[in-house]
């Protein structure tokens, strides 16, 4: 129900408080959140992932247990997909998104479904997604719910019924590999959406739409196009001066924006983090170098007209996949005796940035993780000072911290205004950066120009290894003081890599091993662990209904940097079924998912194998299929991909006979595209597919023979 202006004026005159319709979020509610609610992905407009609710506290947390769960399995295809969104809760109604852009509205007290929205995506778009068919959340505004779909639409739903009111095609072209995994952001009178795809070679941009009509209002490209075609605006003209005029414009440049943005209603500024380059090596992209604005930057934009107000580039001339799309947190901090309105971000590059969010002035940039590409950030120029490790890896590979997975990925960090600490899912990983020898953009495959096969081969850079720790990976929950620029405590046990939630005394964090852990916000002492049997990557949310505090989290594993499933991941033991799990005090035991079942190799088809085709097929398999389906043993010589990883996608060495019969129709004809297996007819020929098939049948025959031998046949 909506109120007419007359009713609103009357209500104001009479001095009575206007009651908002149930589930209603507006400027007032986002600025002055009631403690019981969680009205944006990060809680309120400051996006701190913090709630003042404190019934679950140091003393009571031992009583935390299971309240309810909701089945959020992906109904498209049979591959479990990662869940990454933080649920929004208002007046006891939970709104959140799952894989592909599904949206769920639930009774937040019971988990009972109110409605579910199926975005009816073109599932073949999952081939274009570097890191699974994930979705990072919805925006709820004045009775509407907004979501981006993997295949590029911004959709507006009726908040009461889930009925689709409008859908807008946000893609400027569909012949390159754009996808949407990002959440929409409401700012003033618009809803903004970005996109993903820099690994495949696209030109990033964001678009703003009218909140009600869905009419496009403005578009801001993040990197310039070929200057021969002119510039969209002054910002693009300025940015183009930092690119070689003879850049590889076909490769798109990258810069895609897919993370959690923020909006300050008082300053009327929209804050957007931008992504990595495309391709990574600048000598392929912009041969003479340059800063390549606005890659890996934080942009402040006037949402009324899409004009750039200020920008700060974290990684000039980006060559390491150092996206700055990690969640942006707003806070008012006491710095040098004055209160500063700041914006904080811990991007992949390992520096923690504090910026004045009105002006973009750099207030602090300290290493929060192991970083060797730069020694420090020069506070006068705002630029990182590169070390020998940070030089171009054109002629020799470089050992670099952090890795392309970043010192901090998309799982949200949180800020507790009481302790003054930021809680970061932090990761230390060294990587050997090696470029491919040559580069040209090719359809249907990774276009980063990065030689993945070398990334963990530390031997080849042994001269750059100076300490024992130089080749070691660790993951931690890190408590960071943004004012002093120093770590306060760090916990490195139990795979703490999920997003964090803060409450006055506690920090909540999920793990891929299937736990939701609760820590003392001051000391980092682990106070409680709840085993769910499902890997948790998303940040949790907390809210109150009828005087009871709840903590809810989306559980479901998948997506980079977790597409490579470590042995400790819960999915090796339990089926990786997407679920929303809710906890409360005096709750019960969390039900565990069914056990994972290993499928034995079925009898292979009786096919005469051609060994030349097997060799050719193995190369093609690694170039086009391995990234999703996983690999078998060592990669072929000269492959730019590493040895095989585990995968949730169908194991192609275990295809039943009826699938073998239609192998060509699957790969070229796209007959399984509605399950997420795209047609590769644009990039593969019939003889290529035959070669891949010979390679797979050979592997299946060998495995089957071994099985029979083991069984004593
Ligand atoms: Ca990337």
Return d(Cα 91, Cα 457) in angstroms, integer.
53
pTM: 0.95
Return d(Cα 235, Cα 297) in angstroms, integer.
13
Say which residues have a Cβ less than 8 Å from residue 14's Cβ, sequence separation at least 6: none
As annotated, the active-site residues are 321
Return d(Cα 573, Cα 557) in angstroms, integer.
13
pLDDT at 630: 86
Return d(Cα 109, Cα 361) in angstroms, integer.
44
Q: Tell me the CA–centroid distance for residue 707 and ligand 1, in Å.
A: 40
Return d(Cα 46, Cα 343) in angstroms, integer.
9
Chain segment 110-123, per-residue pLDDT in tens:
999 999 999 999 99
Q: Tell me the CA–centroid distance for residue 111 and ligand 1, in Å.
A: 34
pLDDT at 470: 85
Return d(Cα 433, Cα 451) in angstroms, integer.
8
Q: Tell me the CA–centroid distance for residue 666 and ligand 1, in Å.
A: 28
Return d(Cα 663, Cα 405) in angstroms, integer.
34
Strand 262-264's sheet: what is its strand order? 262-264, 269-273, 297-302, 307-313
Return d(Cα 5, Cα 73) in angstroms, integer.
43
pLDDT at 155: 98
pLDDT at 207: 98
| Regions of the chain short of the pLDDT cut 50 | 1-2, 11, 13-16, 561-562
The span from the first CA to the last CA of the chain, in angstroms, equals 72
Q: Tell me the CA–centroid distance for residue 321 and ligand 1, in Å.
A: 5
Select from 452, 454, 449 the least CA-distant residue to 436. 449
pLDDT at 153: 98
CB–CB of 61/583 below 8 Å? no
Return d(Cα 301, Cα 220) in angstroms, integer.
9
Q: How many CB atoms lie within 10 A of CB 634?
A: 12
Say which residues have a Cβ less than 8 Å from residue 187's Cβ, sequence separation at least 6: 208, 261, 263, 268, 270, 303
Q: Tell me the CA–centroid distance for residue 541 and ligand 1, in Å.
A: 26
Q: Tell me the CA–centroid distance for residue 467 and ligand 1, in Å.
A: 28
Strand 205-210's sheet: what is its strand order? 185-187, 190-193, 205-210, 216-221
Q: Tell me the CA–centroid distance for residue 575 and ligand 1, in Å.
A: 28
Q: Which domains does the chain have, with CATH numbers?
A: 27-585 (2.140.10.10), 611-710 (1.10.760.10)
Q: Tell me the CA–centroid distance for residue 389 and ligand 1, in Å.
A: 20
Q: Tell me the CA–centroid distance for residue 13 and ligand 1, in Å.
A: 53
pLDDT at 15: 45
* Residue 29 token pair: 């509610």
Half-sphere exposure of 710 (CA within 13 A, CB side): 8
Select from 198, 201, 205 the least CA-distant residue to 224. 205
pLDDT at 563: 52
CB–CB of 377/385 below 8 Å? yes
């Amino acid at each position: 129900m909506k109120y007419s202006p007359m009713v609103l004026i009357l209500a104001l005159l009479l001095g009575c408080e206007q009651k908002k319709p149930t589930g209603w979020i507006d400027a007032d509610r986002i600025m002055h959140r009631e403690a019981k609610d969680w009205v944006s992905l990060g809680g309120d407009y400051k996006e701190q992932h913090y709630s003042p609710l404190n019934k679950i506290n140091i003393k009571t947390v031992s009583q935390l247990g299971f309240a309810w769960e909701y089945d959020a399995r992906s109904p498209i295809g049979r591959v479990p997909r990662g869940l990454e969104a933080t649920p929004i809760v208002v007046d006891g109604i939970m709104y959140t998104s799952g894989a592909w852009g599904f949206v769920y509205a639930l009774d937040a007290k019971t988990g009972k479904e109110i409605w579910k929205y199926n975005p009816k995506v073109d599932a073949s778009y999952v081939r274009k997604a570097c890191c699974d068919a994930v979705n990072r959340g919805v925006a709820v505004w004045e009775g509407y719910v907004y979501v981006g779909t993997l295949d590029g639409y911004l959709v507006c739903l009726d908040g009461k019924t889930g009925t689709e009111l409008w859908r807008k095609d946000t893609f400027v072209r569909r012949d390159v590999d754009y996808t949407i995994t990002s959440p929409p952001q409401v700012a003033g009178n618009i809803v903004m959406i970005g996109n993903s795809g820099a690994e495949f070679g696209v030109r990033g941009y964001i678009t703003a739409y009218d909140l009600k009509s869905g009419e496009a209002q403005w578009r801001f490209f993040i990197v310039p196009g070929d200057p021969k075609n002119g510039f969209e605006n002054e910002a693009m003209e300025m940015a183009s001066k930092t690119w070689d005029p003879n850049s590889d414009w076909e490769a798109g440049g990258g810069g895609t924006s897919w993370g959690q943005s923020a909006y300050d209603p008082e300053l009327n500024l929209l804050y957007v983090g931008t992504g990595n380059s495309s391709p990574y090596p600048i000598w392929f992209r912009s041969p003479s170098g340059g800063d390549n604005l606005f890659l890996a930057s934080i942009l402040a934009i006037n949402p009324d007209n899409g004009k750039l107000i200020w920008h700060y580039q974290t990684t000039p001339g980006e060559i390491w996949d150092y996206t700055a799309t990690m969640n942006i947190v707003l806070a008012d901090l006491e710095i040098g005796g004055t209160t500063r309105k700041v914006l904080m971000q811990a991007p992949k590059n390992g520096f923690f940035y504090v910026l004045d969010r009105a002006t973009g002035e750099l207030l602090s940039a300290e290493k929060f993780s192991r970083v060797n590409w730069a020694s420090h950030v020069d506070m006068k120029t705002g630029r990182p000072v590169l070390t020998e490790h940070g030089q171009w890896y054109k002629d020799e590979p470089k050992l670099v911290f952090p890795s392309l997975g970043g010192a901090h990925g998309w799982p949200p960090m949180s800020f507790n205004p009481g302790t003054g600490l930021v809680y970061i899912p932090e990761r230390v990983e060294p990587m050997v950066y090696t470029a491919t020898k040559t580069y040209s953009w090719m359809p249907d495959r990774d276009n980063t120009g990065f030689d993945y096969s070398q990334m963990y081969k530390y031997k080849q850079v042994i001269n750059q290894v100076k300490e024992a720790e130089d080749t070691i990976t660790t993951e931690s929950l890190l408590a960071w003081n943004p004012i002093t620029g120093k770590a306060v405590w760090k916990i490195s046990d139990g795979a703490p890599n999920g997003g964090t939630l803060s409450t006055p005394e506690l920090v909540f964090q999920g793990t891929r091993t299937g736990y939701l852990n609760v820590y003392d916000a001051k000391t980092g002492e682990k106070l409680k662990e709840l085993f769910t049997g499902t890997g948790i990557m998303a940040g949790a949310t907390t809210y109150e209904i009828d005087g009871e505090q709840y903590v809810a989290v989306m559980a479901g594993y998948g997506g980079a940097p977790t597409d490579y499933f470590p042995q400790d991941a819960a999915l090796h033991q339990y089926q990786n079924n997407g679920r929303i799990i809710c906890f409360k005090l005096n709750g019960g035991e969390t039900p565990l998912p069914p056990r994972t079942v290993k499928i034995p190799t079925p009898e292979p088809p009786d096919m005469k194998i051609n060994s030349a085709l097997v060799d050719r097929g193995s190369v093609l398999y690694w170039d086009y299929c391995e990234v999703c389906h996983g690999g078998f043993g060592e990669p072929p010589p000269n492959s730019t991909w590493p040895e095989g990883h585990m995968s949730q996608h169908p194991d192609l060495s275990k295809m039943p006979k009826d699938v073998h019969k239609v192998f060509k129709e699957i790969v070229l004809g796209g007959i399984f595209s509605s399950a997420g297996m795209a047609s590769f007819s644009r990039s593969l020929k019939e003889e290529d597919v035959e070669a891949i098939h010979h390679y797979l049948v050979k592997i299946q025959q060998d495995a089957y023979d071994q099985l029979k031998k083991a069984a004593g046949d």
